[in-house]
Amino acid sequence: MTAVPPSGRSTRRSLRVSVATWSARRPWVTLTAWLLLAVVAWTAARAFSAGYDDEVELPNTQSVQGLDELAADGEPPAASGTVVLRSAGTALSGHADEIDAALERTRDLDHVGAVADPLTTPGSLSSDGRIGLVDIDLTQSFRDLDAQDLEAIDAAFDPLRAEGVDVEYAGQLGSRMDRSGSHRVAEVVGLVCALVVLLVIFGSVLAALVPLATAIMAVVVGLLALTATTGLVSFASVSPTLATMIGLGTGIDYALFVVTRHRQLLIDGADPVDAAAATARTTGHAVLVGAGTVALALLGLYASGISFIGNLGLAAVLSVVTSALAAMTLVPAVLGLLGRHVDRWRLRRPVAEPTTSGSGWSAHALRVARRPWPFLLGGFALLAVLSAPLLALDTGSVDDSAASPDTTSRRAFDLVTEGFGIGRNGTLTVVLSAGALDPADAARETAAARDAIAATPDVTSVGPFAQVEGTELWAATVQPGVAPGTKAAEDLFLTLRDEVVPDVTTDSGLDPGGWVTGSLAVQLEFGRAVVDRLPLIIGVIVVAAFLLLVVTFRSVVLALKAALLNVLSIGASYGVLVAVFQWQLGSGLLGVDGPVPIESYVPMIMFVVVFGLSMDYEVFLLSRVRESWLASGDTTRAVAEGLSATARVITAAALIMVSVFLGFTLDDDITVKMLAVGLAVSVAVDATVVRLVLVPAAMAAMGGANWWIPRWLDRVLPGSSTPRASA
């Protein structure tokens, strides 16, 4: 029987114990407080929401400097978009009147500036005249446009559709026009799978619903808080999906840990309120440390120096924080309200937490302890096989060619490729400064520069240089002969930026230098910046987590072992990503019909999320191991008891997390699919190979060295590192 100190007799109880006990004693007050919190968050979301924006800010890069130069003497559009028109039969010129009427309706809309006519704008009509591009300048950013504004733009082209002209939207405008409910389907599928796992674990409908319901409440509050925060911080459009994925996974897992320990104490005869206090004192500590580790890892994304990336981490942190808060308050309140009826509506009899002597997990731990080296070598070999494809990792920017064929952005991409070539989906802009040259000399010099640029391999065409009105700048559009976001496109950009453009200005009357800019250039420099800073992020997160674990478990060896094993499991998930999305092993099952590069920021996001979640399981397992070791001083026994007590719930938690993540593979966004697959694989590997094989094998091999800590550090840290059995 687990001893539980009587409630109220502890002279000094931690804040988490007091909060959990208070919530269990006053469940209706706590539930009301959460409802009020949701109302406040909803009100704040409606009042302060500013929408989501995928604009990337990269100060001090050449592509951004070029855009700044172009904008210095004029007012650039807040945003721009492209409408792609295709006539199924005759040329678009046969619909000239209808096209002109549609453009006039578009110009009359709020937030719309200039609208280019594809029939009169050079380069906007395909060679056969059937496909045309309508460039639209907007007076507000996509972040500030609501659904009604986008619907009004779409409605302006409805009469043209009635005449048999296809109308599609490219780029970010297309992404905003796509109104897919796939993410909702993903959430439902994940939740249903999680419920099935919870029912199997608990054998009780009520017990299974507690983690699910409290996690949903936490995610709702977290998403409302995220929406309200958009008024202060610019978040990418993928942020709510990422926050939902992480929030549901951590929310259900944290609640699962709490409910499991609480039910065991009830089975042992404890009072529900006393059980809540004891759970907060043990499992609650693991939850808070785990949540703190996840949040710390996510916030470490700001070390990249790229606000787009750092803000993605902040979005997920909001969900993690609300999940941990729910586990420490809302879950105890619901359990206090249910009392001993938590196992009502049983599907089977409640199963007690396994004991050391009778647990299959204990037998497994002892078997590993007797022969640790074969298990260590076998586990490392499996991770090496899974990680091998990592050597072929190709990062880039995933373009609309990878989107679902059912989306307007994918159809627009295919139409542009059909009418103008693949490179028209991602053009570059070369900007040169004529300095003190008169217009005639500047025109001659820029014409020579154009010829040199056009002779560059993988350049399909270069438009004529035109003077930017009121400036000494001249700009031309370069159409690559390669797809945007590929390695070839990046190589072309670097060649133009670092070699061709500097060379053509050096021996001419133009000012030295120049800029290669445009949205594609910004994307490519963003990708390079993210990849270049990944080692920094890895270093910052590993060191921070190492220090946190040293403080938590008072062991340098355990902290180092945890950090290294987590890095290895993440490498395995990277390898699986390459195999699925680049080598197309099973990608057809995900609705991906061709090889795609790994989105540049996916490895960085994956690392911090996976590292944080892995530390969750590490903390939960080692908390029980250290608790046993402090009582007995026997490392082998402690590992066996810790694994016996936690393996079942860790396996269940991982299975739930995997189910939630895999549900998001149904999302149409290819980046979300990558994150879903990568996170699911990493959690599965961590909870099986790492947590059930490598951790007990490594601890058995190291024996008493597991608990080594320098004497000077031992004196500085609070608490005790000496087992009670030997004290």
Instruction: Give the length of the chain.
Output: 727
For range 7-17, the mean pLDDT: 50
| Domains of the chain by start residue, with CATH | 1-48+182-347 (1.20.1640.10), 74-177 (3.30.70.1320), 358-400+529-719 (1.20.1640.10), 428-517 (3.30.70)
pTM greater than 0.75 (yes/no): yes
Q: At 723, is the pLDDT very low, low, confident or very high (cuts 50, 70, 90)?
A: low
For range 49-55, the mean pLDDT: 78
Q: At 379, is the pLDDT very low, low, confident or very high (cuts 50, 70, 90)?
A: very high
Q: What pLDDT score was predicted for residue 387?
A: 93
Distance of alpha carbon 117 from alpha carbon 167, whole angstroms: 14
DSSP state of 513: -
For range 318-332, the mean pLDDT: 92
Q: Other C-beta atoms within 10 Å of 725: how many?
A: 11
* pLDDT tens readout for residues 229-265: 988 888 888 889 889 989 988 898 898 888 888 888 8
DSSP state of 579: I
pLDDT greater than 90 at residue 666:
no
Tell me the β-bridge partners of 429: 477, 517
Distance of alpha carbon 548 from alpha carbon 554, whole angstroms: 10
* pLDDT tens readout for residues 432-458: 988 878 888 888 888 998 999 999 999
Q: What pLDDT score was predicted for residue 417?
A: 92
Q: Please give the share of the chain, as a percent, with pLDDT higher than 70.
A: 92
Q: How would you class 223 by CB atoms within 10 Å of its CB: exposed for 0-12, middle for 13-18, buried for 19 or more?
A: buried
Q: At 505, is the pLDDT very low, low, confident or very high (cuts 50, 70, 90)?
A: confident
Tell me the β-bridge partners of 517: 429
Q: What pLDDT score was predicted for residue 6?
A: 40
Q: At 718, is the pLDDT very low, low, confident or very high (cuts 50, 70, 90)?
A: low
For range 118-122, the mean pLDDT: 88
DSSP state of 125: B
Which contiguous run of DSSP H or E holds residue 474? strand 473-480
For range 669-685, the mean pLDDT: 90
Bigger pLDDT: 407 or 284? 407
Structure tokens at 496: 């133009």
Q: Is the Cβ–Cβ distance between 240 and 54 less than 8 Å?
A: no
Q: Is the Cβ–Cβ distance between 301 and 608 less than 8 Å?
A: yes
Q: What pLDDT score was predicted for residue 359?
A: 57
Residue with tokens 């991982």: 654
Q: What pLDDT score was predicted for residue 12?
A: 38
Which of 49-53, 164-168, 518-522, 528-532 has the highest mean predicted lDDT (pLDDT)?
164-168
* pLDDT tens readout for residues 216-233: 999 999 999 999 998 888
Report residue 84: phi and psi, to 5°.
-105, 125
What 3-state DSSP class applies to 494? Answer: helix
pLDDT greater than 70 at residue 11:
no
pLDDT greater than 90 at residue 377:
yes
Q: How would you class 165 by CB atoms within 10 Å of its CB: exposed for 0-12, middle for 13-18, buried for 19 or more?
A: buried
pLDDT greater than 80 at residue 496:
yes
DSSP state of 496: I
Distance of alpha carbon 312 from alpha carbon 698, whole angstroms: 35
Tell me the β-bridge partners of 125: 132
DSSP state of 648: H
Distance of alpha carbon 402 from alpha carbon 596, whole angstroms: 7
Distance of alpha carbon 507 from alpha carbon 512, whole angstroms: 9
Distance of alpha carbon 330 from alpha carbon 190, whole angstroms: 22
Residue type, 692: L
Q: Please give the share of the chain, as a percent, with pLDDT higher than 90.
A: 22
Bigger pLDDT: 403 or 490? 490
Q: Which of 173, 176, 297, 153 is nearest to 237 (CA)?
A: 176
Distance of alpha carbon 675 from alpha carbon 665, whole angstroms: 9
Q: Is the Cβ–Cβ distance between 67 and 522 less than 8 Å?
A: yes
Bigger pLDDT: 443 or 279? 443
Bigger pLDDT: 437 or 155? 155
Residues 6+ apart with CB under 8 A from 81: 135, 136, 138, 169, 170, 171, 172, 173, 174
Q: What pLDDT score was predicted for residue 701?
A: 85
* pLDDT tens readout for residues 521-568: 888 888 888 888 888 888 888 888 888 788 877 888 888 888 888 888
pLDDT greater than 60 at residue 669:
yes
Structure tokens at 448: 């020579």
Q: Is the Cβ–Cβ distance between 682 and 607 less than 8 Å?
A: no
Distance of alpha carbon 100 from alpha carbon 85, whole angstroms: 13
Q: What pLDDT score was predicted for residue 3?
A: 39
Q: What pLDDT score was predicted for residue 317?
A: 94
Q: What pLDDT score was predicted for residue 352?
A: 52
Q: At 9, is the pLDDT very low, low, confident or very high (cuts 50, 70, 90)?
A: very low
* pLDDT tens readout for residues 563-617: 888 888 889 999 999 999 999 998 888 888 788 889 888 999 988 888 888 877 7
Q: Which of 597, 578, 590 is nearest to 397 (CA)?
A: 597
Residue with tokens 């968050």: 41
Separation in Å, CA 163 to CA 90, 99, 155, 157: 11, 10, 14, 10
What 3-state DSSP class applies to 131? Answer: strand
Distance from chain centroid for Cα 404: 20
Q: Is the Cβ–Cβ distance between 515 and 431 less than 8 Å?
A: yes
- 79-87 and 165-170 strand pairing: antiparallel
Q: Is the Cβ–Cβ distance between 18 and 290 less than 8 Å?
A: no
pLDDT greater than 90 at residue 35:
yes
What 3-state DSSP class applies to 623? Answer: helix
For range 178-183, the mean pLDDT: 56
Give the DSSP letter string of 414-446.
HHHHHHH-GGGGS-EEEEEE-TT--HHHHHHHH
Q: At 680, is the pLDDT very low, low, confident or very high (cuts 50, 70, 90)?
A: very high
Q: What pLDDT score was predicted for residue 357?
A: 47
DSSP state of 111: T
Report residue 129: phi and psi, to 5°.
75, 5
DSSP state of 669: -
Q: What pLDDT score was predicted for residue 183?
A: 54
Structure tokens at 528: 């390079």
Q: How would you class 74 by CB atoms within 10 Å of its CB: exposed for 0-12, middle for 13-18, buried for 19 or more?
A: exposed
Distance of alpha carbon 343 from alpha carbon 559, whole angstroms: 38
Q: Other C-beta atoms within 10 Å of 158: how many?
A: 11
Please state, rounded to an integer, the average pLDDT across all residues of the chain.
84
